[in-house]
Chain A
Amino acid sequence: MAAPKVAVVGAGVIGLSTALCIAETCPSCSVTVLSDQFSPNTTSDVAAGMLIPHTYPGTPIHVQKQWFKETFTYLFAISNSGEASEAGIHLVSGWQVFKNTPKEELPFWSDIVLGFRPMSKAELQKFPQHQFGQAFTTLKCDCPPYLLWLEKRLKATGVQMHTRKVADLWELHSEYNVVVNCTGIGAHQLVGDEKLFPIRGQVLKVHAPWVKNFIRDGDGLTYIYPGIHRITLGGTREKESWSLSPDPGTTKDIFDRCCSLEPSLRGAQDIEVKVGLRPSRWCVRLQREVLSQGGVKLPVVHNYGHGSGGFSVHRGTAKEAARLVGECIAALQGSSSRAKL
């Protein structure tokens, strides 16, 4: 098969990083990204982009750890290069604090982030309502910069990007040999995945450039993540809520919760409110499927359902998806050569 044609549907962090991995591992492929939304209007643009993994109940821990490690290593190298500022990747240190000591004192990712250790008594004094904490240094992917940087890298490798609403993956069967489904929360409707559900997150993006450290409550609901130009204050985890409209009562609640962790935030300026729907699932759907109608087949690779952990594992799942695309192409080439006999 000359120049296999691969369509990647979705242009958030998963779609773009997957397209890049496919272009890297399959130089002969012609890759096209199709999406109804591009940065700054994707779910990824709302997220802070912190590399602090979410634990998927349905995926073996060693697999999640491998995905995180690959992602961390990849971004670590960029953060330490001249491209760091353009890519929006930077190191940030801080604290995860708990009101009650957690059962699991060492998360699976503690040896991948840098300098992970329990907080000292003196450090905990800053958080009188919290009894226990962990200090570490991790990476942050600021969006839109990271997505725009990925788009730039894609264009440089010849990947095309088109704004297009795909209503049904099958509609692509005549133009493409393989389709990669990175539609995030869109997969609920696109492929009818009932196991995929939104967890609504509202955040504030504020100007408070004196805040240099992240602070996160171990319950995952309240967090302060310093980005390049803005601090992301969060948040909410509203299961099954599909509303993309900011709620003013929630805004005040988030702000108050964050100010109780970091009082100097009272002086924050230019508060912007955003909402995203985390594409949540028991496990990331990272697998091949073959759609067929009337004897015509369309291989599909699914890579969606990353919930609140998209940034943390994106490179790892992108590489795996690219590997699956390679398998699909090999299978197509195998069957086409058999057809020649």
Chain B
Amino acid sequence: MRVAVIGAGVIGLSTALCIHEQYHSLVPSLDMEVYADRYTPHTTSDGAAGLWQPYVSDHGNLRETIWNKETFDYLLGHLGSPAAKEMGLFLISGYNLFTQPVPDPSWKNIVLGFRNLTPKELELFPGYSYGWFNTALMLECRSYLPWLTNRLTQRGVKFFHKKVESFQEMFAQGVDVVINCTGVRAGELQPDPELQPGRGQVIKVLAPWVKHFIITHDIKSGIYKSPYIIPGSEFTVLGGIYQRGNWNEENSAQDHKTIWENCCRLLPALQKAKIVEEWSGLRPARPCVRLERESGRHGHRHAEVIHNYGHGGFGITIHWGCAMAAARLFGSILEEQQLGSPPQPRL
């Protein structure tokens, strides 16, 4: 059985690994390939700071809340393992700031030590009158994607540097199941008006004295439009840009100014930080994640696509829960094929 995963960001690679881990021993003929025109460090995932944190409001999307939790618990379980450092996985604490009281998020019991901020803590952040403190996880893709790639390579999964133009192209080659993890450009393979780029820009600085993430929220303007500061293992990521519908991957001088001024106002200690890099990327924004099977035919053969895209600005946060859901869909494909296939001749 030939499986082609299209896309090598955090979604593509983790879905590939999850399916391979669960089914390779059951289906010895499982032959998996990854196709992508961009690999780490040039994927959308590579630009993300890597903080596990869902959006402030889940809009009643229970499936996604569960996938977020599954991802957090999975990663938390790996924290004490020797692989953690190689994966780019570590604990981090920090602040979420608001200008008015807000309801607790759906993930308050998923993260560790969630609580409201005390008045003294709020003194640190003039202009913000309410907030949360909690301990969460960082998963840095510039380490995690190579780690996933190594695990996949060890399992014999093959990688191809190729832009896939259509699902038909894969089926014509003899692929049985396509896993569509193409992120923001999924519309090129199959039009999806609900999928839009959510352009972000970040400044990477050297500020190792910053030990907490600080994420501000402006409920009126929307998620990621308010400054945020996320310290990584090497660099600290400054951001606060979200432009829906903007496909431009070039850095904008205006956005740079917005990010820098807002972040320095938020954290005066950043003033002496050295700027190392600037990066822009397109969050694959969608009202909800598209995670579903699409069955069809290619000639007289059965053709299956499992879609797993549209994770917006929470791909890392939700990735493993989605990978497992995609693996379950894959399992259902296998089950149907077993039931539908003619009995094997006994020798």
Chain A 129-167 interface residues, beta-carbon cutoff 8 Å to B: 135, 137, 142
Contact A210 B271 (CB under 8 A): no
Query: Is B269 a contact of A79 with CB atoms below 8 Å?
Result: yes
**Knowing A91-B212, A92-B211, A263-B80 touch, does A117 contact B115 (C-beta < 8 A)?**
yes
Q: In the complex the two chains form, is B207's CB within 8 Å of A93's CB?
A: no
A82-B272, A84-B269, A85-B269 as given contacts; A123 in contact with B112, CB under 8 Å: yes
Q: Is the CB of A85 within 8 A of B273?
A: yes
Determine which of B90, B91, B209, B212 lies in contact with A228 in the assembled complex, contact meaning CB atoms within 8 Å: B209
**Cβ of A213 and Cβ of B115 under 8 Å apart?**
no
**A80 CA to B265 CA in the complex, in Å?**
10
CB distance from A49 to the nearest CB of B (A): 13
How distant is the Cα of A68 from the Cα of B233 in the complex, in angstroms?
31
Which segment of B29-37, B117-125, B184-192, B253-261 sits at the interface?
A: B117-125
In contact, A210 and B269 (Cβ under 8 angstroms):
no
Separation of A229 and B210 alpha carbons in the complex (Å): 11
CB of B82 within 8 A of CB of A266, answer: yes
- Residues of chain B within 8 A (CB-CB) of A86 are 272
Contact digits for B111-138, partner A, Cβ 8 Å, 1 yes 0 no:
0110101101100100000000101001
On chain B, the residues within 8 Å of A226 by CB distance are 211
Q: How far is the CA of A266 from the CA of B120 in the complex (A)?
A: 36
A105-121: CB near B (< 8 Å → 1, else 0) gives 00000000011010110
In the bound complex, residues from chain B placing their C-beta under 8 Å from that of A92 are 211
- Contact among A82, A142, A212 with B271 in the assembled complex (CB-CB below 8 Å): A82
Residue of A82, A88, A114, A135 near B121 (CB, 8 A) is A114
Complex interface bits, A74-108 against B, C-beta within 8 A gives 1, otherwise 0: 00000111101110101111100000000000000
Choose among A81, A82, A135, A229 the residue that contacts B208 (Cβ–Cβ < 8 A).
Answer: A229
Q: Check if B223 is an interface residue, CB within 8 A of chain A.
A: no
A267: CB under 8 A from chain B? Answer: yes
Bound form: Cα–Cα A90–B209 in Å: 6
Mask, B229-241, CB within 8 Å of A = 1, is: 0010110000000
Residues of B within 8 A of A137 (CB): 93, 121, 133
> Assuming A114-B121, A115-B118, A263-B82, is B269 touching A81 (CB within 8 A)?
yes
A209 contacts B by Cβ under 8 Å: yes
Give CA–CA (A86, B231) in the complex, Å: 18
A79–B112 CA distance with the chains assembled, in angstroms: 25
Contact, CB under 8 Å: A114 / B118: yes
Q: Are A80 and B233 in contact (CB under 8 A)?
A: no
Selected from A88, A90, A228, A267, the residue in CB contact (under 8 A) with B85 is A267
Give the one of B80, B112, B138 with max A CB within 10 A.
B112
- Measured CA separation A294–B82 after assembly (Å): 70
Task: Flag if A85 contacts B207 (CB, 8 Å).
Answer: yes
B79 interface residue per 8 A CB criterion? yes
**B84 near A: Cβ within 8 Å?**
yes
* B92 at the A interface (CB under 8 A): yes
B345 at the interface (CB under 8 A from A): no
- A59 is an interface residue with CB less than 8 A from chain B: no
**CB under 8 Å from chain B, chain A span 144-192:** none
8 pairs from A and B in contact (CB 8 Å cutoff): A80-B269, A90-B211, A120-B112, A122-B112, A142-B209, A212-B91, A212-B231, A264-B84
Using CB atoms and an 8 Å cutoff, list the residues of chain B in contact with chain A: 79-82, 84-85, 88, 90-93, 112-113, 115, 117-118, 120-121, 124, 133, 135, 138, 207-212, 231, 233-234, 268-269, 271-273
Pairs A-B, 5 closest by C-beta atoms:
A84-B269, A82-B271, A210-B90, A267-B85, A210-B233
